[in-house]
Amino acid sequence: MPKTYEVRTYGCQMNVHDSERLSGLLEDAGYVAAPPAAADEKPADVVVFNTCAVRENADNRLYGTLGHIASIKRENPGMQIAVGGCLAQKDRDTITKRAPYVDVVFGTHNIGSLPALLDRARVQEESQVEILESLEVFPSTLPTKRESAFAAWVSISVGCNNTCTFCIVPSLRGKEKDRRPGEILAEIEALVAEGVVEVTLLGQNVNSYGVEFGDRLAFGKLLRACGEIEGLQRVRFTSPHPAAFTDDVIEAMAQTPNVMPQLHMPLQSGSDRVLKAMRRSYRKERFLGIIERVRAAMPDAAITTDIIVGFPGETEEDFLETMDVVRQARFSSAYTFQYSPRPGTPAATMEEQLPKAVVQERYDRLVALVNEIAWEENKALVGTTVELLVADTSAGKGGKKDGATQRLTGRARDNRLVHFARPDGVEVRPGDVVEVEITQAAPHHLMADGTPLAVRRTRAGDAWEARNAAPAPVGVGLGMPTIGAPAPAPVSDGPACAC
C-alpha cells in the first residue's frame, strides 16, 4: 500500500500555495492523500506542518499541536512528522530540541527537498534539518496539487526588499526574486488548458515585480498580457505596496476586461508618524490618492486592506487618524490585527509597547467601524445584478442549509462573497457562472434569495466535474502538473503576509 500524507497549513495565501506544491511533491514521490480520519482510524503516514511566523503566538500554536500529535506517533511506529515554512526557517534547530520526535525540518527556500529528507530520516533513523539561506530553484517549477480545479494561485515573485520594522518576512523569504513574464504566462496558459478560469497573481509586493530585471512597468504589462489569454476570465492579484503603486497599473486594471475590479492594498496605519516608525515608505495622502484614482477609473471597485492597531508608541491621536482614513477610504472589508512583538524585528525592541487593554479597546472600535462601513457598502448593492463564479459548495461540503433549500456560494467580480439559492431543475457546478439579484446584505457577505437569473455551464465546471468523478492523471507542461483530487481546504489567515 502507498504511504499516505496530510499537509496542515497555517498563515497567508503564499503558504497555501506552498502547501499545494508540497502536496504535489509528495504525490509525485508516490504518496497519496490521506482521507479525513475518524478518531479510531489510522493517521497519515506523513504529517507536514507548513508554518507561519507572522501571526501572534505562531510558535505556541505549533508546539501545542506537535505535543498532541506526538502521542499519536508513539502509537504508530513508522509515522513521520515534518515542519516547514516561515517558522521552521526562523527557529531552525529549536524545533527538534523542543520536539525531538519531529523527523524533518525544512525552510522556505528548499520545499523541493521534502521527499528526499523524509527518505533520509527513515533510513538514518534520525531527524533531518535542512535550511537554505537563499532560493536555488523558483518554487513554481515544482509539481503542484491544486486545491481548486478552476481557480489557481500563480507566483510572480518571492521575497521582499522592504524593511518594515514589524515584519520578519524579508529575513525568512529573502530578497525579491522575479519570474520572467514568459514563464508566468506559459504557466497560466497551461492552467487555462486544464479548465482554470481564474488566477490570482501572488507576491509579497506584486507591484514591485520587475525590479530584478530592471522594468518598473513590468507589472502593468503583465496584467495586460493576461488579458490576451483566451479562456482566462478572471485575474486578481495580492498584495500591492502603496509605495510602489503606479498609475500605469490602474490603467491596466481599468482597460483589461478580465482583471477584476478589486484591490487589496495594505494601509497598516493612517498616522504618518506611525507609518514612519513602521518604515512604510508612503504616507496617508499618497494612500488615499491611489484609492481616489482607482475609483475614478473603476467606480465599482471593491477595496480591502490590512490594519495594525497598537504599534509601539501609537497615541490616541494616531489611532484616530487611522479611523479617519477608514472613513474616507470606505473599505469593503479589512483584515485587522492587534500588534504583538515578533522576535527579530526592530519593533519588538522599541520603547512604548502599549498595554494589552489599550490595544484591545482600540481594536474593538476599529472593527466596529470597519463592519459598519462594510455593511453600508453592501447594502448599496441590494437590487443590483451580479455575476458569480460558483465556489465548491457541493452537498456535504460547504453548502449552507436554509430550511429545505440548500444555498450555494459564489464570488462576485469584485470578490464579494454571495450566498444564493440552488435553482430548481438546473444543475449548478463549482466553476459554473450564474447571475443573481442581490436581495439582502450583511457586513461580510451578500444574499440572493430568488432564482438565479441565468446559469452558464463552463469548461471550469467540466473540469471540476471530471476531477471529482475520478482521480485525475498527472498533468503536463512546465513541470507543474495538477495532480489528483482536491485537497482539504487549508487555513489562510489573509493576503500574502499582509505586507
The Cα–Cα gap between 324 and 335 comes to 17
- Kindly state whether residues 182 and 118 are assigned to the same domain: no
Residue 406: band (very low, low, confident or very high) from pLDDT cuts 50, 70, 90: confident
- Kindly state whether residues 365 and 390 are assigned to the same domain: no
Query: Are the C-beta atoms of residues 269 and 229 closer than 8 Å to each other?
Result: no
Helix, coil or strand: residue 56: coil
* Residue 448 CB-density burial (10 A; 0-12 exposed, 13-18 middle, 19+ buried): buried
Q: Give a yes or no: residue 484 inside a domain.
A: no
CA atoms within 13 A on the CB side of 377: 26
Task: State the CATH number of the domain containing residue 103.
Answer: 3.40.50.12160
pLDDT digits (tens, 9 = 90+) for 418-446: 999 988 888 899 999 999 999 999 999 99
Residue 474: band (very low, low, confident or very high) from pLDDT cuts 50, 70, 90: very low
H-type helices in 75-180, by residue range?
Answer: 86-91, 93-98, 114-124, 169-173
Which residues touch 472 (CB under 8 Å, ≥6 apart)?
466, 482, 483, 484, 485
The residue ranking higher by pLDDT, 253 or 19, is 253
Q: How many domains does the chain have?
A: 4
What are the two backbone dihedrals, phi and then psi, of residue 228, each rounded to the nearest 5 degrees?
-90, -5
Q: Which of 328, 358, 378 is the last residue of a domain?
A: 378
Q: Give a yes or no: residue 428 inside a domain.
A: yes
Task: State the CATH number of the domain containing residue 373.
Answer: 3.30.750.200
- Kindly state whether residues 10 and 131 are assigned to the same domain: yes
Residue 490: band (very low, low, confident or very high) from pLDDT cuts 50, 70, 90: very low
- Kindly state whether residues 12 and 90 are assigned to the same domain: yes
Arithmetic mean of pLDDT, 109-128: 91
What was the pLDDT predicted at 91? 83
- Which cell goes with 200? 490570482
pLDDT digits (tens, 9 = 90+) for 146-184: 888 999 999 999 888 899 999 877 777 788 889 999 999
Maximum mean pLDDT: which of 91-100, 154-163, 370-379? 370-379
What was the pLDDT predicted at 393? 56
- Kindly state whether residues 184 and 246 are assigned to the same domain: yes
- The DSSP string of 330-392 is --SEEEEEE----TTSGGGG-S-PPPHHHHHHHHHHHHHHHHHHHHHHHHTTTT-EEEEEE-S
What was the pLDDT predicted at 470? 47
Task: State the CATH number of the domain containing residue 403.
Answer: 2.40.50
- Kindly state whether residues 102 and 182 are assigned to the same domain: no
The residue ranking higher by pLDDT, 350 or 404, is 350
- Kindly state whether residues 322 and 427 are assigned to the same domain: no
Range of the domain at 70: 4-135
- Kindly state whether residues 371 and 347 are assigned to the same domain: yes
Q: Give a yes or no: residue 445 inside a domain.
A: yes
pLDDT digits (tens, 9 = 90+) for 300-359: 999 999 999 999 999 999 999 999 999 999 999 999 999 988 878 999 999 999 999 999
- Which cell goes with 305? 486592506
Residue 368 has pLDDT above 60, yes or no: yes
**Alpha carbon distances (Å) from 153 to 15, 20, 156, 416:** 11, 9, 10, 18
- Look up the pTM and report it: 0.82
Q: Give a yes or no: residue 389 inside a domain.
A: yes
What was the pLDDT predicted at 87? 85
The Cα–Cα gap between 159 and 208 comes to 11
Flag the least confident range among 37-46, 66-75, 124-133: 37-46
Q: Which of 135, 159, 178 is the last residue of a domain?
A: 135
- Kindly state whether residues 365 and 389 are assigned to the same domain: no
Q: Give a yes or no: residue 336 inside a domain.
A: yes
Of the chain, the percentage scoring pLDDT greater than 90 comes to 62
- Kindly state whether residues 131 and 156 are assigned to the same domain: no
Q: Give a yes or no: residue 227 inside a domain.
A: yes
- Kindly state whether residues 150 and 251 are assigned to the same domain: yes
Flag the least confident range among 195-209, 321-335, 389-403: 389-403
- Kindly state whether residues 23 and 117 are assigned to the same domain: yes
Flag the least confident range among 87-101, 247-261, 385-399, 430-444: 385-399
Q: Give a yes or no: residue 87 inside a domain.
A: yes
What was the pLDDT predicted at 55? 64
Residue 56: band (very low, low, confident or very high) from pLDDT cuts 50, 70, 90: low
Radius of gyration, CA atoms only, the chain: 23
Q: Give a yes or no: residue 121 inside a domain.
A: yes
